[in-house]
Amino acid sequence: MERLQKVMSNCGVASRRASEQMIADGRVRVNGVIVREQGVKVDPDKDIILVDGKRLERQAKHYYLFNKPKGVVTTCNDERGRQTVMDYFKKEKDRIYAVGRLDQNTEGLLLMTNDGELANILMHPSKMVDKTYEVKVKGRIADSVLQHLADGVELSDGMTAPADVYYLDFDGRTGLTTVEITIHEGRNRQVRRMFEYFGFQVHNLRRVQYAFLTLSGVKRGSYRSLTDEEVAELYKYK
């Protein structure tokens, strides 16, 4: 038995929160009875669940590794008409969504799926999933600043957790320093804010790894399906 909103999310109807609102609005019936109470448990293999009069069916699970370009927003729809990640998945028939977010000007590795359970596992702060970014900033960075970034930075929403920080390169022609940083938190614009704390302007920010997954073989704006072995490995965070 599973909670109704979780079943709806896992079947690709909507996010868990949006599913809760649909239940509250009286749009869901279980075995012919309108259900408005949150947390009702159902058996998706036996119970007849109707959402807006349409029977809920289990969807095949899809898992994609997407190399998001800069300038693309991580949302299903954008009221301002900006390009979204879903513009790259138009040929996929089932509803999918991003695991977490990358801001509009951050590019790189983004997981896309319709598996609500796995998405919730990976996004939960307690799972401490590593996320590695390649950061290019204007100017040279002192070793003391790199150490401070690694130890933690006091941001407006609290001290950041320890991070792995590595100096990669300085380009004398462009004046850009490249740094690799691995964090496991998921605060809004965290990496940018960490560098801005020291007065550095982030010229380019790219996520190059998520857990054990990398961008190897996936060009900007392209995606690939995860293997069964990769999905099983991600579920080990449960």
Distances (CA, A) of 208 to 9, 41, 134: 28, 39, 7
Distances (CA, A) of 17 to 6, 8, 21, 38: 9, 10, 7, 11
User: 207 pairs with which residues across the strands?
Assistant: 108, 133
| Gyration radius of the chain over CA positions | 21
What tokens does 179 get?
Answer: 């740094």
- Return d(Cα 139, Cα 69) in angstroms, integer: 24
CB 116 within 8 A of CB 10: yes
Catalytic residue among 103, 157, 164, 228: 103
Question: 46-73 burial string, b = 16+ CB within 10 Å, else e?
Answer: eeebebeeeebeebebbbbbbbbeeebb
Return the SS3 of 81. coil
- 25 carries an active-site annotation: no
Neighbours of 124 (CB within 10 A): 13
Q: Give the residue numbers annotated as catalytic, written as ranges.
A: 103
